[in-house]
Chains A and B, each alone.
Chain A
Amino acid sequence: MSNSISRFEDPGLPEHQHRKSDIDAIAANRAERQVAVLFLLSAIGTIGTIASYIFIDSKKFIYLPILGDTNAQQLALGTGLAASLFFIGIAAVHWAKTLMPDEEVIAERHEFRSSDEDRADFVTTVKERAGAAGLGRRSLIKRSMGIALGLIGLSPLVLLRDLGPLPKQQLFTTDWSAGVRLVTDPGDRPIKPSDLEVGAVAQVLPQLPAGTERTLENVGKDAVLLIRIRPEDFNLDAERLSWTHDGIIAFSKICSHMGCAVALYEQQTKHLLCPCHQSTFDVTRAAKVIFGPAARPLPQLALTLDADGYLVAKQGFTEPVGPSFWERNSA
């Protein structure tokens, strides 16, 4: 890259400095021995790896500082493998640095650009041959080809239709409905109000009809958090208050933001915290969002008691649970 006349001159490549191993045969031999030792270290590593696979008990643990009690075979296999690989690399690099020629070589770059003649030839060739194919003149071919090629991409897309069912009402419904009992998760035990003290929390699921297996898809919609506080601590309108029972309130556990389990309950502040993105919900105000990216409160499940005194849902959720979606209508 040339500069204007008054700039400094490029002095060219600096004079080559010889390495010790270039001028001193003893140093060169020493370097060779070093490379040999490094290669041998790798070989020892390989032998160590194979030996530890065969001879070390896979259940044995040994104590090492920093690591703690670690699996001996895993450690030996790993460090042996690491050594066998690492030292080949170090040997090769040390060999290159000390013994291989280290004079800098200059190679010329070539211009990528084709000659003007070649470019002109290219243009002529393409024009001639495209013309011969009739592309320019025969517009009927051009248009029908366009239609054919434009359409062909659609078939593969259509073939993907059976990837999954249409959502229909699935995002809008859960297994909760009027009269469904709340049961513990895990354990499936129904709950009476007296089972829950003030300040207590319980993870609950709906009792499914006898014989029905609970799937993860069920849990992903049905998981509910049951919380008991003092009734006077509620700050709810009349309707939401009627969904509670003697200080017991229930919310969907599936975060209204992105669907993580909002299971963190802070007893003193009566806040629910979702650990994924730190959305914070106020239990006393029907899980109103007080911090974080969630835009909607957690849906509240209306509670009542059944004839045997167990907690049941008064009705299903009045809005879809979980993260938002385009068809969701409620605020």
Chain B
Amino acid sequence: MVLTNTNRPKWRDRLIIMSLASAAGVAILVTGGIVLSLVFETLQFFKKVPVMDFLFGLEWSPQTAIRADQVGAGGSFGAIPLINGTLLISAIAMAIATPLGLASAIYLSEYASKRTRDLTKPALEILAGIPTVVYGFFAALTVAPFIRMTGGQFGLEIASESALAAGIVMGIMIVPLISSLSDDVINAVPQSLRDASLGLGATQSETIRRVVLPAALPGIAGSLLLATSRAIGETMIVLMAAGMAARLTVNPLEAVTTITVQIVALLTGDQEFDSAKTLSAFALGLLLFVITLCLNVVALGVVKKYREQYD
């Protein structure tokens, strides 16, 4: 005997499944929309400004001409200073976040008692839940003046909008991202590896440094890549604390600008569509999207492969 609900039309179930599938399709639609819109506007931009000038130009001063014949009427759209600024700030952020995040993750997963863990982990997660505009406000109002003052004590001339202030605050923001991802990764290392090392007489820290961390290294690298991508795409902290000056410098005490800051600067305020200035924001957006996408794909791939290794 076959039991089926014969009173229920088949097409209804099929319709429901179809609509569920189309909801899942929205994800593809969004990615497609992002790529298409960015590529379309960027191609328009490259009609006005050559690709090479954009990717390898050393000067960034977008402006719309008031008169057609004025000096530098077209502005210059070299993205190198922006990439430089973005990488500088991200590097500072990672230099802060990597040791803090990794040490927290190691302590929480290997040493902390369950009680400490249950208290500390959510507390660290709060850092991830605070909106970035709050970090930006704090960076601009408190951290930047503090750094400027401290530098002044040692006779250093520090810009009030320095890469250092933005980088430090961004680093703290990223700590929970690194610590929670690395925590998962370290927990996935089989206990048998630890037991073997401890059994041979290694201390706990020696076990962690020589056995657990090397075993977890690919996963940790993946989490660091994800964190870097997050730092590169961060907008509000740099917008409020890093400034607008497109300088080609590696000095963290100077003001630099980033890709995200320039996108905001180009697209807020008065704008004419299809001017090179407005379109350049989309080219920067595409650049940002491609950089972060590459980092994400590599990172997710590494983490996935690592997980399979121990599953």
Do chains A and B interact in one complex?
no
A interface residues (Cβ-Cβ under 8 A, vs B): none
B interface residues (Cβ-Cβ under 8 A, vs A): none
